[in-house]
Amino acid sequence: MKEDFEIRTVFPSISSLIDDIEHRILSPLSHFKEFDNYWLLEFDLPMVNKKDIKVTFDGSTINVEAKLKEKYSEEKLGKISKFEYFKKSVSLPGKIDTKKTIAKFSKGRLEIKIPKKSMGRTVKIK
């Protein structure tokens, strides 16, 4: 099994940070691994019930949303922010097979295995 890693650093804009606070949304920690014929995405979703997780696809982007069991409060610079949701979108570098995607949630960790969609076909040579 070939395992290639690609590190992507995306810095959110100030306006998106403000939107997250205004909309009470946290961005979960995540990890992306690419293998020969699938991608594996892992998300840390503590304080979440399985029934409150929603995974959707939009082209080659996967979106994960999860409602917290209870509001999470955080104080920074004397200001208290309350959060109610986790939300994250991840763009995949190729075509995905949404019908064969498998998701598993256990102990606050969501794993999503997304098969790559083959772009061509193999021709047998006689």
The tens digit of pLDDT for each residue in 55-100 reads 998 887 889 999 999 888 888 788 888 888 999 998 888 777 788 8
* Residue-level pLDDT at 22: 62
Q: pLDDT class for 23, splitting at 50, 70, 90?
A: low
Distance of alpha carbon 39 from alpha carbon 22, whole angstroms: 32
Question: Is residue 125 domain-resident?
Answer: no
Are 23 and 31 spatial neighbours (Cβ–Cβ below 8 Å)?
no
Question: Is residue 124 domain-resident?
Answer: no
Question: Is residue 28 domain-resident?
Answer: yes
Question: Is residue 122 domain-resident?
Answer: no
Q: 100: domain range?
A: 3-115
Q: What total number of domains does the chain contain?
A: 1
Question: Is residue 25 domain-resident?
Answer: yes
pLDDT tens, residue by residue, 100-122: 899 999 999 999 999 887 666 66
* Residue-level pLDDT at 1: 47
- What is the average per-residue pLDDT within 9-24? 50
- 73: domain CATH number? 2.60.40.790
Give first-to-last CA distance, the chain, whole Å.
28
Distance of alpha carbon 106 from alpha carbon 91, whole angstroms: 24
Question: Is residue 121 domain-resident?
Answer: no
- The dihedral formed by the CA atoms of 64, 100, 38 and 11, expressed in degrees to the nearest 10: -20
Question: Is residue 94 domain-resident?
Answer: yes
Are 66 and 84 spatial neighbours (Cβ–Cβ below 8 Å)?
no
Question: Is residue 126 domain-resident?
Answer: no
